[in-house]
Structure 1
Amino acid sequence: MLTNSSDAACSLRGFPGVSFVGDDNGTQIGAPATRRDDVEVTRVWLTPGTSAHASLRIAQAGNYDPAQCQPSAVDGFRVYPPDDTASLFIRYPQPTGCRSASVTLLTVGPLTR
């Protein structure tokens, strides 16, 4: 969820960038999230204090051959708002990621209200 903490309205359009991170230092674990191509992308207008969110699907690392996946504990997510180079960290140490970039566990939808 991204919240407008400014005093002015703003807008966002598109997909956040999302990756697992780990190793207690923010190292990206595996492939970044792929973007859903089955949903419409629209501009989201946020007045001060309002929020937008995106759906995130997480596949289970245990569904893949360990030799291909290279299972790894994760600390959480690195999230980039659309058209931004500054990232946010969201602690979420429960899932297991795949170190291999050939396995994509994350799928993200566009921002909505």
Structure 2
Amino acid sequence: MRLIAAAALVAALPMAACESSSPAPSASMITRPAVAVTPHTPIPEPSVPAASVPGATTPATTGPPTDAQPLGAPYCAATDVALSLENAGGAAGSIYAPIDFTNITARACALFGYPAVSLAVGDPPLSIGPAGEQTTDGEPQQVILGPGAVAHATVRYTQAGNFDCEHAPAEYLLIYPPNQTAAVTLPFDVDVCVQPPIALLHVDYVKPGTAN
């Protein structure tokens, strides 16, 4: 069960990899229904040693709060928002996968900045490969989400096949909402470069509405 894609990042980002001779995957390869998932606190010590999974490590809390203070509403906690992936699209060896954040509470909350993302595998999920890198295109703006409102942040996954590296399978996208230390996982079946470790994920800052 291997999908080579999952839902999307900023289309204008440069690609860090040389072009692959194999065709780019179609969006249908990673099309998933949008599903709300249950947030969890930072993952405890795994029940199996991380060394049993090539390149896997116990995930660190990669989404520490920023110094910026919200205006008009408190930050959205991981339990305030349901996360889902929009249908992915591919281009030149990359997959663009927007993460939707839907406010499921009866009050407004704020999102500001970048979510922290990484690929993960196992149960409990272990981070595998380098964490996602932030894009530098534009300046983040605070997004106020009323009840039921949606914002998104786009993730770009560059295919591991574009690189000369040892591959390992990932099963999930591990996501820390901006300014939060509790993570959410979404299914994301792709390959990871573990040796040498190569950052295959780039993430954009949160923007209002959906990407599509």
TM-score, length of structure 2 as denominator length: 0.49
Unpaired runs of 5+ residues, structure 2, are: 1-99
Match of 1:31 among 110, 130, 143: 130
Alignment of 1:48-87 (within 5 A): 48-66=147-165, 70-87=166-183
Identity of aligned residues (%): 33
Match of 1:12 in 2: 111
> 1:99 aligned to 2:194?
yes
Distance 1:76 1:101 in 2: 20
Q: 1 or 2, which has the higher strand percentage?
A: 1
Could you list the runs of 4 or more consecutive aligned residues of structure 1 that deviate by over 4 angstroms after TM superposition? none
Residue 110 (str. 1) matches residue 191 (str. 2): no
Looking at both structures, which has the greater relative contact order when contacts are Cα pairs under 8 Å and sequence separation is at least 6?
1
Task: State the distance in 1 between where 2:188 and 2:105 align.
Answer: 26
1:65 to partner: Cα distance? 1.1
Contact 1:2–1:52, Cα closer than 8 Å, also in 2: yes
Query: Whole-Å Cα distance in 2 between the matches of residues 23 and 32 of structure 1?
Result: 16
Cα distance change of structure 1 residues 45 and 28 upon mapping to structure 2, 3 Å threshold: same
- Rg larger in structure: 2
Counterpart secondary structure, 1:62: helix
Change (3 A) 1:48 1:55: same
Q: Alpha-carbon deviation of 1:36?
A: 0.4
In structure 2, the CA distance between the partners of 1:77 and 1:89, relative to structure 1 (3 Å rule), is: same
Partner of 1:99: helix, strand, or coil?
strand
Q: What's the TM-score once normalised by structure 1's chain length?
A: 0.90
Could you tell me how far 1:24 is from its partner in structure 2? 4.2
Q: 1:78–1:87: 8 Å Cα contact kept in structure 2? A: yes
Partner amino acid, structure 1, of 2:187? R
Separation in 1, partners of 2:137, 2:200: 17
Structure 2 CA distance, aligned partners of 1:5 and 1:101?
40
Alpha-carbon separation, structure 1, partners of 2:175 and 2:196: 18
Deviation sequence 1:11-44 (CA, Å, 0-9, x none)? 1100000000013430101011100001221000
Residue deviations 1:32-68, cap 9 Å, x none? 11000012210001000111110111111111112xx
1 CA distance for matches of 2:107 and 2:184? 21
Aligned CA RMSD, in angstroms, stands at: 1.3
